[in-house]
Amino acid sequence: MGKAIIRLEQVWKVYSLGKVEVAALRGLNLDVKRGEFVAVMGPSGSGKSTAVNMIGCLDIPSKGRILLEDKDISHLSESALAQIRGKKIGFIFQQFNLISTLTALENVMLPMIFQDIPEDERRKKAWELLELVGLADRMQHKPSELSGGQQQRVAIARALANDPEVIIADEPTGNLDSKTGAMVLDFLKRLHKEEKRTIIMVTHDEQLAHAAERIEYLKDGIIVKSKVKLAK
């Protein structure tokens, strides 16, 4: 396997809630190689979301370093982080997080607006991506007119809009029934297998986690166990 695309070195994240301080991460170390599919598991509150948000450049650590393609991103400004996540990261959330006033097509086009991609190119790409996730007939629908599974597929298409290296899925099936969840997982597997994208998926479901090549178990802000599967 290739070298690390993501590396977390002794990462701490401390939230201060008034007088009380909550350490969500306590010196987390993690390497993710290019093209790897990693699942992150652990009890609620163990710091999974905190960790992947930082990998996705949504936040910076209180202490420690995060390297993305050998570049230290732990001290970058909001704007610099926004640029990186716009280009290199694709997010998929448990709550789908689509913009309710926009159609499926517009939602998929939105990340490309932020990258200054011309309108006709945006439209074409969004069209292709929605076809890829099997929603060709739902382009003009608003999120409220789509089922949960369909919304999550729009979100997958949106995550792919700017051809990101890394896809971060934080409990992508958490709000879906097991059948729809399996379908969403299938998409992630395809992105990993066919397109060689790096995927980091948080899940509570051991069975889904086994789709990954490696499972990391988090507890109280550090990795307590790793399970590596042999490449199939």
Partner 1 sequence: MLLSYVKFALGTFAHRKTRSLLTMIGIFIGIAAVVALIGLGEGLRGAIIGQFGFLGPDVLDIQASGLNFAGPPGTAVVKPLTEDLTEKVERIPGVEAAINRYIESGTMEFNDKQDIVFAWNMPEGKDRATLEGMLNLKVSQGRLLKDGDNLKVMVGSGFTDKDRFGKPVQLGNRILFKGVEFEVIGILEKKGSFIFDTALIMNEDVLVDNFREDGSVNVIAVKVKDVEAVDSVKTNIEQLLRKERDVKKGEEDFVVGSPEATLQTIDETIFGVQLFIYVIAAVAIIVGAIGITNTMYTAVLERTKEIGIMKSIGATNQTIFALFFIESGLLGLVGGLIGISAGFALSYSFAFLGRQILGSDLIQADIGIGLVLGSLFFSVLVGLLAGVIPAYKASKKHPVDSLRYAQ
Ligand X SMILES: Nc1ncnc2c1ncn2[C@@H]1O[C@H](COP(=O)(O)OP(=O)(O)OP(=O)(O)O)[C@@H](O)[C@H]1O
For ligand X, the binding residues (CB under 6 A) are 15, 17, 22, 24, 42, 44-50
Who's near 52: CB < 8 A, 6+ residues apart?
A: 40, 168, 170, 200, 202
CA distance 97 to 141: 15
- The binding site for partner 1 (CB under 8 A) comprises 53, 56, 58-59, 78-79, 82-83, 85-87, 91, 93, 97-99, 101-102, 106, 110-111, 113-116, 119, 158, 161-162
Closest approach, Cβ 158 to partner 1, in A, equals 7
Counting residues that bind Mg ion (by CB under 5 A) gives 1
* Of residues 215, 211, 229, 195, the one with CA closest to residue 30: 215
Closest CB to Mg ion among 198 and 203?
203
Residues 6+ apart with CB under 8 A from 30: 6, 7, 8, 51, 216, 223
CA 136 to the chain's CA centroid: 23
Residue 24 near which of Mg ion, ligand X, partner 1, none (CB within 5-8 Å, type-dependent): ligand X
Q: In terms of CB distance, is 111 or 221 closer to partner 1?
A: 111
Listing from the earlier edge strand, what are the strands of the sheet with 198-202?
89-93, 166-170, 198-202, 37-41, 214-219, 222-228
Nearer to partner 1, 141 or 227 (CB): 141
CB of 215 to partner 1, least distance (A): 24
Q: How far apart are CA 158 and CA 116, in angstroms?
A: 15
Shortest distance (Å) from residue 228 CB to partner 1: 29
Chain-centre distance for alpha carbon 22: 24
Beta bridge partners of 215: 39, 227
Query: Nearer to ligand X by C-beta: 22 or 228?
Result: 22
CB of 206 to ligand X, least distance (A): 14
CB of 1 to partner 1, least distance (A): 28
Q: Note the residues at the interface with Mg ion (CB under 5 A).
A: 49
